[in-house]
Amino acid sequence: MAKVSVQPEEFTFVNYDAKRIIALAEEMAAHAGLGDDVAITIEIDEKSPFGYTTSAVDGPTVTIFAESAAFEDAKNLRELSEEGSRQVLGRLLYRVGDRMDPAFGDPPPDKGLSFEQSSAWNAYAMGRLERAGYFAHKERRRYAFRIRHGFTDVADQVFDRLWASETLTWADIEAACAQTAAVRPERETKGPKSKAKAKAKAKAGK
């Protein structure tokens, strides 16, 4: 069983139990195939009301960072959601297991992933979590995938393939992203640069 620790050991801003989070992480690590040689540290920013998460792998050492809302019960603020925590930890630890598998390939660090790559990898991870017997919010995950990959039949087909797969590689994830990109309508990104570009076009009479 993977060795898990949680920081902080005692929470003051949220009513979380570090020992319970450790138990949930050990449960998910076992499903992800992480063995006794793996050490997992979960760092939780309990002062943040947001739900950002990321993970890093350095040999057998894994660090997971999470803002407190990632584990929070949406109906009982500041309380731990065990179902939600299993989903978050399962998704992250399946991806960690992929990173540790030489056959998977060499994906960029989490912060270097595109939104499309991350959502495709998430679909692959959450499909495995569902087959392990956990509720994985498949249709919510499908919608999140569509936002990044387009509301097309091809995107739905790719999502279903990723969700049902057991032994993909990073090359397969990249190929899935390329497949959806090939049929996704071009859209300008909203923001200051887009507005400036639109103004320049209007000024030029384009």
Mean pLDDT of 114-134: 98
Average pLDDT of the chain?
91
Asked whether the predicted pLDDT for residue 1 surpasses 70, the reply is yes
User: What is the pLDDT confidence band of residue 185, given thresholds at 50, 70 and 90?
Assistant: confident
Bond preceding residue 8 cis, omega within 30 of 0: yes
Q: Is the pLDDT of residue 190 over 50?
A: no
Question: Taking residues 153-180, what's their average pLDDT?
Answer: 98
**Whether pLDDT at 168 is above 90:** yes
Each residue of 47-85: pLDDT tens digit? 999 999 999 999 999 999 999 999 999 999 999 999 999
The confidence score (pLDDT) of residue 200 equals: 41
3 state SS for the chain: CCEEEEECCCCCCCECCHHHHHHHHHHHHHHCCCCCCCEEEEEEECCCCCCCEEEEEECCEEEEEEEHHHHEECCEEEEECHHHHHHHHHHHHHHHHHHHCHHHCCCCCHHHCCHHHHHHHHHHHHHHHHHCCCCCCHHHHHHHHHHHHCCCHHHHHHHHHHHHCCCCCHHHHHHHHHHHHCCCCCCCCCCHHHHHHHHHHHHCCC
